[in-house]
Structure 1
Amino acid sequence: MSWPQTSDHMEMLGQAIVANSAGAIVGHSVAYGELTLTAPLPRIVDALTYLRDHKDYQFQQLIDLCGVDYPERVRRFDVVYHLLSLTQNHRVRLKIETDEDTPVPTVTGVYPCADWFEREAFDMYGIFFEGHPDLRRILTDYGFHGHPLRKDFPMTGYVELRYDDELKRVVYEPVKSVEYRNWDFLSPWEGADYVLPGDEKVEAK
């Protein structure tokens, strides 16, 4: 069963997936030409197995798994799974929510390629994946403190690395002045309602 890439057909696909998932997938939306599904955290393995194995969907490939940080929420993290069906020529996004303490069941048993994706989400966001065979940092250095893609991670980090000429080796030192990001969450296409640094030098026309 092939699904054309139109908003109406994606809406029908989302409805069918939710209706037939036995509660493993609980919601769907279509925006910007893309279908997004939502699942309860404890059912993520069931949800992905269903999407992979159902004869009408056949999402055989996990293209990406990533985290998103919404620090104002109680469950601050989204874990987002991007799937591809080669036989149906269709893509879908599946999202779950979690917090800093609640582990997400690993999906390496469903998609083995999730191994390094989950390690990256753990490294960058501090999201824990229960049952992962080797959950350790993958991009940052040994002994790195914090998770760099969290919105509350300081721009300067917590530790400075430099070469000490007297000791003739690399040393790690705590950053003395921590600078935090100023998040205004405005799209660059919308434009800010204040003067951006450097704009004051431009003559008004």
Structure 2
Amino acid sequence: MTWPVSSEALEALGQATVANSGGDVTSHAVAFGELTLTVPLPRIVGALTYLRDHPGCQFQQLIDLAGVDYPERERRFDVVYHLLSLTRNVRVRVKLETDEDTPVPSITGVYPCADWFEREAFDMYGIFFEGHPDLRRILTDYGFHGHPLRKDFPMTGYVELRYDDELKRVVYEPVKAVEWRNWDFLSPWEGAERGFAALPGDEKALAKPADAK
């Protein structure tokens, strides 16, 4: 874990990074005790190399890389990098924007651990990473259609799979209409007050303890 760093120290670090990075970092913001740096898409490799190697930064570890989808924007995706400096005991967030067609330079040459993170962002959001050594899906099945964490991806998916006992293999079929369910999220030990069939376990809520008077 890292100890809290004052907003003044984060502000100073953000200003110094923007001033000294040679245009690789264009802006910064401090909110809720966190420093966020904004980077132009083509310069992400240079920006992260600066943050890793500059004596005033020394962010040796990439903690996380994730995508965020804003479908109403022209450049709908944010790619977010979280870095940790063991030397300075501080974290920083780095962000850039891209769209469905513009590839993001891979940072595997700066932080090798970005390999699987970038594959996950490609799989879940369809964000392309140029120069990645093995950009393919990592969580979904082979031949999966679409990207599940996009806001416009249907909740039911596009296809469903089942094991066909006659064919002795898994088959893919178009998704059939499903009945939407209403969840009450009540404890099964308490049961729910409803005017139709009780759920299994509801009777336990009605039973009185043995020592009850």
State the partner residue of 1:88: 88
CA distance in 2, matches of 1:100, 1:130: 13
CA contact (8 A) 1:154 1:178 kept: no
CA contact (8 A) 1:158 1:178 kept: no
State the partner residue of 2:55: 55
**Shift of the alpha carbon at 1:163?**
1.6
Helix, strand or coil at the partner of 2:109 = coil
**1:156-182: CA deviation from partner (whole Å, max 9, x where unpaired):** 110101122332322111113489xxx
* Residues 113-132 of structure 1: pairs in structure 2 closer than 5 A: 113-132=113-132
Partner AA of 1:90 in structure 2: V
**Shift of the alpha carbon at 1:88?**
0.7
State the partner residue of 2:202: none
CA distance in 1, matches of 2:114, 2:149: 19
Helix, strand or coil at the partner of 1:162 = strand
Alpha-carbon spacing, 1:170–1:197, altered in 2? closer, same or farther (3 Å): closer
CA distance in 2, matches of 1:174, 1:197: 26
Structure 1 runs not aligned, ≥5 long: 180-195
State the partner residue of 1:20: 20
State the partner residue of 1:108: 108
CA distance in 2, matches of 1:177, 1:145: 18
* Residues 183-202 of structure 1: pairs in structure 2 closer than 5 A: none
Q: Which stretches of structure 1, 4 residues or longer, exceed 4 Å deviation after superposition?
A: 196-199
1:133 aligns with 2:119: no
Partner AA of 2:125 in structure 1: Y
**Shift of the alpha carbon at 1:153?**
0.6
State the partner residue of 1:182: none
**Shift of the alpha carbon at 1:4?**
7.0
Query: Whose radius of gyration is greater, 1 or 2?
Result: 2
Q: Which moved more, 1:78-87 or 1:9-18?
A: 9-18
Structure 2 runs not aligned, ≥5 long: 186-191, 194-213
CA distance in 1, matches of 2:140, 2:183: 31
TM-score between the two structures when normalised by the length of structure 2: 0.81
- Give me the identity figure in percent: 81
Cα RMSD, aligned residues only? 2.1
Helix, strand or coil at the partner of 2:87 = coil
Helix, strand or coil at the partner of 1:23 = coil
1:78 aligns with 2:78: yes
**Shift of the alpha carbon at 1:15?**
0.8
**Shift of the alpha carbon at 1:76?**
0.3
* Residues 28-47 of structure 1: pairs in structure 2 closer than 5 A: 28-47=28-47
CA distance in 1, matches of 2:60, 2:120: 22
Partner AA of 2:43 in structure 1: R
CA distance in 2, matches of 1:78, 1:100: 11
Partner AA of 1:143 in structure 2: G
CA distance in 1, matches of 2:144, 2:168: 22
State the partner residue of 1:186: none
* Residues 130-169 of structure 1: pairs in structure 2 closer than 5 A: 130-169=130-169
Helix, strand or coil at the partner of 2:154 = coil
